[in-house]
Structure 1
């Protein structure tokens, strides 16, 4: 079985954490200082994010960076 691209796995994980937090893409973008369309593109695996962006997203979601990493154990 071929592994999914890390961008897709990260996007899926980000979406799951965001949904669990009960916030919209627009609200996440606002909290992280990022545009809603950027959040959407990240969740679809269309954008490659920097570690600085991962940190912004984690802070906005009030979680550790590791929570956003695919295949992490909580």
Structure 2
């Protein structure tokens, strides 16, 4: 089962990427990540490290707080 935070984060990455009209491959080139990894992040299949999260923020030229501008409600 995918964790909600990973799915929300992945959707945020996809939203930012598409907003800049980048392909997964182009985002991979900007970040140094393989495009398969970018796709896995976007689908919530990977749990990126803090270092990789910072790489995404730098690639989009936004702060970490901006990168995390999405809401995650606890389902407990």
Shorter chain as denominator, the TM-score bin is 0.7 to 0.9
33-42 or 57-66, which deviates more = 57-66
Q: TM-score, normalised by structure 2?
A: 0.82
Residue 22 of structure 1 corresponds to 21
Provide the rounded CA distance (Å) in 2 between the counterparts of 1:28 and 1:51: 18
Provide the rounded CA distance (Å) in 2 between the counterparts of 1:23 and 1:48: 22
18-27 or 40-49, which deviates more = 18-27
Moved over 3 A (4+): none
Q: TM-score, normalised by structure 1?
A: 0.84
Alignment root-mean-square deviation, CA: 1.5
Unaligned runs of 5+ in 2: 72-76
Greater C-alpha Rg: 2
Unaligned runs of 5+ in 1: none
